[in-house]
């Protein structure tokens, strides 16, 4: 029985040793420069400059690429509109080769019989014609202008999307900086409320404050803790949104989760 217990104990000890070593090796492989602490670090120093973020967002934006594709499409439509008059031109080439058999009846002499004749012929025919509706000719210039306007519309929409994207990047960036500042404020507030609650607990145990007062202070601390976690979550969300918009992986590991 003792031997069995010792065997189980040794196996458990070996497992713990290997597991601890694996965890340590995993932690040692993580680049410590990627760790980011919103309380002590400055997010503006760990991210690319705002101008770079804006340019990267424009380069990786599918909306802007979509408008470029539309402008290209309307350009080719403009070329087609300019060449549409050629649809009224036609060139035909007919070639007939073969032998034909004919059975003819002599109607002049009223002879009741048919005459057989054969003919070998080669027929060639080339034809060219123009059939152009008047509307096609008159409205040609107007159709070309309409396609040019579609190109201008696409390029204008692209610029609208670009400015909206710039505003979006700037807003998310500034909200991210603001969220970090709020984290620092809430962190100090948490330290203050924890100290205050320790004092309130001692006063409550000594009968110096009522239960209602102690409950009120506890609610203040709890509300502050909840808001602290909310602002941390907001910071992480804005960080991820900025990665998606700009198409850049910042590879920072937030120590506050």
The distance between the two most distant Cα atoms of the chain, rounded to a whole number of Å, is 149
Q: What range does the domain containing 92 cover?
A: 88-133
Q: Are residues 57 and 172 in contact, defined by beta-carbon separation less than 8 angstroms?
A: no
Question: Is 186 a member of any domain?
Answer: no
The reported pTM is 0.70
Q: In angstroms, rounded to a whole number, what is the distance separating the alpha carbons of residues 82 and 48?
A: 47
Question: Is 129 a member of any domain?
Answer: yes
Q: What is the chain's mean pLDDT, rounded?
A: 83
Q: Is the pLDDT of residue 240 over 90?
A: yes
Residue-wise DSSP of 198-245: HHHHHHHHTTSS-HHHHHHHHHHHHHHHHHHHHHHHHHHHHHHHHHHH
Q: Is the pLDDT of residue 25 over 50?
A: no
Query: Residue 145: what pLDDT?
Result: 93
Strand partners, 118: 101
Question: Is 250 a member of any domain?
Answer: no
From 252, 249, 248, 238, select the one nearest 174 (Cα to Cα).
Answer: 238
> Picking from 113-122, 204-213, 228-237, which range would have the lowest pLDDT averaged per residue?
113-122
Question: Is 141 a member of any domain?
Answer: no
pLDDT: which is higher, 69 or 3: 69
From 183, 213, 187, select the one nearest 200 (Cα to Cα).
Answer: 213
> Picking from 44-48, 54-58, 90-94, which range would have the lowest pLDDT averaged per residue?
90-94
Question: Is 57 a member of any domain?
Answer: no
Q: Is the pLDDT of residue 31 over 60?
A: yes
Assigned token pair, 227: 């808001």
| Segment 183-208, tens digit of pLDDT | 999 999 988 988 988 999 898 899 88
Query: Residue 45: what pLDDT?
Result: 93
Q: In angstroms, rounded to a whole number, what is the distance separating the alpha carbons of residues 167 and 174?
A: 11
Question: Is 255 a member of any domain?
Answer: no
| Segment 140-180, tens digit of pLDDT | 899 899 999 999 999 999 999 999 999 999 999 999 999 99
Count of structural domains within the chain: 1
């Amino acid at each position: 029985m003792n031997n069995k217990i010792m065997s189980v104990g040794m196996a458990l000890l070996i497992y713990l040793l290997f597991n601890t070593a694996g965890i340590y090796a995993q932690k040692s492989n993580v680049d410590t420069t990627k760790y980011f602490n919103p309380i002590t670090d400055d997010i503006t120093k760990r991210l690319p400059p705002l101008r770079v973020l804006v340019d990267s967002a424009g380069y990786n934006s599918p909306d802007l690429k979509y408008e470029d594709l539309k402008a290209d499409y309307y350009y080719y439509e403009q070329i087609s509109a300019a060449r549409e008059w050629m649809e009224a031109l036609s060139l035909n080439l007919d070639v007939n080769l073969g032998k034909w058999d004919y059975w003819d009846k002599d109607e002049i002499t009223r002879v009741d019989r048919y005459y057989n004749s054969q003919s070998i012929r080669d027929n060639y025919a080339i034809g060219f014609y123009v059939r152009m509706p008047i509307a096609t000719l008159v409205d040609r210039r107007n159709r070309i202008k309409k396609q040019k306007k579609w190109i201008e519309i696409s390029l204008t929409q692209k610029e609208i999307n670009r400015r909206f994207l710039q505003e979006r990047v700037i807003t998310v960036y500034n909200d991210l900086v603001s969220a970090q500042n709020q984290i620092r404020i809430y962190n100090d507030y948490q330290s203050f409320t924890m100290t205050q609650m320790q004092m309130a607990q001692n006063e409550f145990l000594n009968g110096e404050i009522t239960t209602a007062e102690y409950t009120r202070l506890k609610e203040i601390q709890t509300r502050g803790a909840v808001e602290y976690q909310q602002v941390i979550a907001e910071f992480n969300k804005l960080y991820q949104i900025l990665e998606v918009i700009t198409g850049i992986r910042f590879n920072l590991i937030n120590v506050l989760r």
